[in-house]
Structure 1
Amino acid sequence: MSSRLAGLLIAATVIATTAGCVVEPPPRPHPRPVVYAPPPPPPEVVEVIAPQPPPPAVVEVVQESRPGYVWARGYWHWNGRRYVSVAGHWEPVRPGYHYVHPHWEQRGDGWHFHVGVWVNG
């Protein structure tokens, strides 16, 4: 075989094996914009006013203490017609805060309910 024919044969083989092969880089993902939004406002507190005093305190059997938790006492919830008992629950301790239990307070226009909250200090 002549060297010219061998060169053409090699060139034809290279062309045949690489024809149509295009290497494209993978598509780059479009960066998503980062939006820094202010934190949402605290949930709106709806004041509950009942026309009559709540029944005596809810009697609960509290398990022994749990390290890192405080017991949030149960309370009476006014549903618009009558009082309904709500069971207590464990709240994780928040360092630097103390827990104020839910309670009712009498004012001139009726009985006002205060939800259980964590207070600084």
Structure 2
Amino acid sequence: MKALLHRALGLPLALFLLAGCGSSLPVPPTGPHLPSEPAVVVPYPPPPARVEILSPPDKPGLVWIDGEWQWRSRRWAWQPGRWEPVPPGAYFAPNATVRRADGSLVWFAGVWHVPGKK
């Protein structure tokens, strides 16, 4: 009986506690990569993302850009996350690894897309 009561209260309590863990982390507006962007053919996907401990931004108005694995010649290298200002009217296209129809694996770096800039 006691175990049943603990189970019955456990899930709602866990959900309530998780709801309180919401984040107000300022993140950039996001969007797609452009067809004209260079894609890097890679032999294998990147490792899982690393967990990062964030420090508060040193200026107001900055957004958090997640860390990412970047392809460097013949291996993946970790680029830590960072605080950045949002260029006016811009959106951020996060890094992406995509399997093409021909079976090749390509990687796109995370980049800002600013209207009117190429």
TM-score by length of 2: 0.51
State the alpha-carbon separation in 2 of the partners of residues 55 and 74 from structure 1: 12
Equivalent residue for 1:50? 42
Higher relative contact order (CA 8 A, sep 6+): 2
The CA deviation at 1:48 is 1.7
Q: CA deviation at 1:115?
A: 3.0
Q: Structure 1 stretches of 5 or more lacking a match?
A: 1-44
| Corresponding residue number in structure 2 for 1:17 | none
Give the equivalent residue in structure 2 for 1:62. Answer: 54
Q: CA deviation at 1:84?
A: 1.1
Identity among equivalent positions (%) equals 38
Structure 1 ranges of 4+ moved more than 3 A: none
**Cα pair 2:38 2:108 within 8 Å, conserved:** no
Quote the offset at 1:91 in angstroms. Answer: 1.6
**Alignment partner of 1:94: what SS?**
coil
Q: Which amino acid aligns with 1:117?
A: W
Deviations 1:10-48 (A, max 9, x none): xxxxxxxxxxxxxxxxxxxxxxxxxxxxxxxxxxx6532
Computing the radius of gyration from Cα coordinates, the structure with the larger value is 1
2:53 and 2:99 mapped to 1: Cα distance? 27
Contact persistence 1:47–1:113 (CA under 8 A): yes
The corresponding residue for 1:94 is 87
Map 1:28-39 to 2 at 5 A.
none
Shift of 1:55: 0.4
After TM superposition, give the deviation of residue 119 of structure 1 in Å.
Answer: 5.1
Compute the displacement of 1:58 (Å).
Answer: 2.5
Count how many residue pairs are aligned between Structure 1 and Structure 2: 77
CA RMSD after TM alignment = 2.5
TM-score using structure 1 length = 0.50
Equivalent residue number for residue 109 of structure 2 = 114
Separation of aligned partners in 2, 1:61 and 1:103 = 22
